[in-house]
Structure 1
Amino acid sequence: MADATGGTESTSRVADVLLLFVEGPSTLGVSRIARDLGLSKAVVHRILQSLAARDMVALDPASREYRLGGAAAALGARALRDSDLRSAALPLLRGLRDETRETATLSTPVPHGRVYLDQVVGLHEIKMTVELGRRFPLHAGSSGKCMLAHLDPEHREEALAEPLEALTPHTPVDAVALRGELDDIVARGWAVSAGERQADAGSVAAPVFGVSGEVLGAISVCGPRYRMTDELVAGLGPRVAAVAAQISRRLGGDPGHPSSAAPVAAGRNA
């Protein structure tokens, strides 16, 4: 039992080191990793040496810091290629982008947040893009909020009990007020953000559900705030929810909030 426990702990440390590269800077040094994870430099150095031998990380000779290696990139690419959620969503995201001329995105929940899995970039000269693979908190932005709203009560309360970081001046950080907004999102079927994750961005998102009714992810339409007017958002909400319901059905899931809304007229607020 002692060996099993030690092995599990070591595996967790290796995973924690790799996960730091998901949300931190592109390169990390031994001291930074040791400080962030509360480990000794000797332990971190051994982990990095083992990962480097398998091309999971690579050492930059100039800075003496590490970045993700080719094997890590290959794992990420394979995960994307084999993602049923991404495969089911991508054709419909392209259609949503063509209808609205704004960027359409796909997110999925991960421990302590969510990540963007894919995006179809908008057709305007000035357009929104998102950073794939980086972890963002669930309480900031429409995609995160609509997933948070549909978590089971225990996990939803766990997320709300944590400190709610203000990414911008418009990020919701009052757990009581946010609970009320999440209830509204469940009732309505879609969520809205105006500068919550990124100050100059606006978005509308809706959840995607799996076979057991669990929330698998969210799709969104996002653009600069000056184009995401109240009029556009009012039309986009039901439409994004309808497309999310189509994706849920493709995955064998419960659409949650089906909608028969008509497509949004492309570019009417451009």
Structure 2
Amino acid sequence: MTETTGGTGATERVADVLLLFTDGPRTLGVSRVSRELGLSKAVVHRILQSLTARGLIAYDPAGREYRLGPAAAALGSRALRDSDLRTAALPFLAELRDRLHETVTISAKVYGGRVYLDQVVGTHEITMSVELGRRFPLHAGSSGKCMLAHSDPDEVDRILGGELAALTAATPTDPDALRAELARIRETGYAASAGERQGDAGSVAVPVFGPGGLVGAVSVCGPRFRVTDEFVAATAPQLIDTADRITARLGGSAPARAVPTSTGRTS
């Protein structure tokens, strides 16, 4: 990231600093933020001081680091409450969870990745839950991949041409293989994952569309030993139906897709 001048550049720097707190550790220091964003420490310190004064960031004097503050929590809570995608999806998530007994989630695409908006946790004794509000990259996991498959081609090129971080040993990091998988996802309408974002988890996901195009994804996820190829094959048609119903409620339309005939799964 290049430091720029003027109001727009300053606004972008503030936004990038805030968004950095949705990606990784609970607290960040000035040096870490400076290194991650390519900004001088003086600029980062001024931004953090301004955000702290407004409650968006809080300072931890013991560790001499910063974390998200109460005003950020209030913004997040309001955003969730007012999310059309979350509101439209929740009844369908519960219905699908009751049929499959696994955790069902709804994610939204955001700048630089995607976030889980909500979940309906499975009913098994051993089940899976996800971290709401944390930003995850689009190349890892079924929800991210199905969004990436339906993203603007320029965005796809930018992401595949950049660093594809390995979150686990199974995270896809080969751009050519990923490009081929994205084509399969567009054809079948769903994506599957086995340990790509979280090593012991598996999932299957389908994109959701609003009037302006792609808005997010609905997924079914669970422990990897239960999310088998057979489970994915049986679940994909039900998940496609659920995603299409959410899309219809939002006033969007899903692209044409082939009838699912294979899992499209990667290990």
- Provide the residue aligned with 1:242 in structure 2: 241
Secondary structure of the residue aligned to 1:221 is strand
Does the CA-based 8 Å contact 1:245-1:256 persist in structure 2? no
Are 2:234 and 1:230 aligned?
no
Take 2:32 and 2:139, find their aligned partners in 1: how far apart are those partners? 27
- Provide the residue aligned with 2:215 in structure 1: 216
Residue ranges of structure 1 left out of the alignment (5+ in a row): 262-270
Secondary structure of the residue aligned to 1:219 is strand
Take 1:34 and 1:163, find their aligned partners in 2: how far apart are those partners? 19
Secondary structure of the residue aligned to 1:16 is helix
- Provide the residue aligned with 2:47 in structure 1: 47
Describe the shift of the 1:178–1:45 C-alpha distance in structure 2 as closer, same or farther (beyond 3 A): closer
Take 2:256 and 2:84, find their aligned partners in 1: how far apart are those partners? 21
Greater radius of gyration (CA):
1
Take 2:161 and 2:154, find their aligned partners in 1: how far apart are those partners? 11
- Provide the residue aligned with 2:164 in structure 1: 164
- Provide the residue aligned with 2:103 in structure 1: 103
Structural mapping, 1:1-270, within 5 Å: 6-212=6-212, 214-256=213-255
Displacement of 1:66? 1.4
Displacement of 1:259? 10
Return the letter of the residue paired with 1:127. Answer: T
Identical columns (%): 65
Return the letter of the residue paired with 2:218. Answer: I
Secondary structure of the residue aligned to 1:22 is coil
- Provide the residue aligned with 1:266 in structure 2: none
TM-score (norm 2): 0.90
Describe the shift of the 1:259–1:19 C-alpha distance in structure 2 as closer, same or farther (beyond 3 A): same
Q: Deviations 1:111-161 (Å, cap 9, x if unpaired)?
A: 222111111111111111111121211111111111111113222222222
Take 1:53 and 1:137, find their aligned partners in 2: how far apart are those partners? 30
Describe the shift of the 1:181–1:41 C-alpha distance in structure 2 as closer, same or farther (beyond 3 A): closer
TM-score (norm 1): 0.89
Take 1:248 and 1:95, find their aligned partners in 2: how far apart are those partners? 16
Does the CA-based 8 Å contact 1:170-1:196 persist in structure 2? yes
Secondary structure of the residue aligned to 1:130 is coil
Take 2:146 and 2:138, find their aligned partners in 1: how far apart are those partners? 9
Residue ranges of structure 2 left out of the alignment (5+ in a row): 261-267
Take 1:236 and 1:164, find their aligned partners in 2: how far apart are those partners? 28
Take 2:218 and 2:232, find their aligned partners in 1: how far apart are those partners? 14
Take 1:172 and 1:68, find their aligned partners in 2: how far apart are those partners? 30
Secondary structure of the residue aligned to 1:117 is strand
Take 1:184 and 1:42, find their aligned partners in 2: how far apart are those partners? 47
- Provide the residue aligned with 1:265 in structure 2: none
Does the CA-based 8 Å contact 1:88-1:247 persist in structure 2? yes
Which deviates more, 245-254 or 129-138?
A: 129-138
Displacement of 1:30? 2.0
Take 1:36 and 1:153, find their aligned partners in 2: how far apart are those partners? 26
Take 1:43 and 1:156, find their aligned partners in 2: how far apart are those partners? 31
* CA-atom RMSD in angstroms: 2.0
Secondary structure of the residue aligned to 2:221 is strand
Secondary structure of the residue aligned to 2:21 is helix
Return the letter of the residue paired with 1:66. Answer: Y
For these two proteins, the number of residue pairs brought into alignment is 257
Take 1:47 and 1:178, find their aligned partners in 2: how far apart are those partners? 37
Secondary structure of the residue aligned to 1:123 is coil
Does the CA-based 8 Å contact 2:189-2:258 persist in structure 1? no
Take 1:133 and 1:208, find their aligned partners in 2: how far apart are those partners? 18
Secondary structure of the residue aligned to 2:163 is coil
Take 1:36 and 1:76, find their aligned partners in 2: how far apart are those partners? 23
Take 1:231 and 1:39, find their aligned partners in 2: how far apart are those partners? 48
Displacement of 1:178? 1.6
Does the CA-based 8 Å contact 2:29-2:64 persist in structure 1? yes
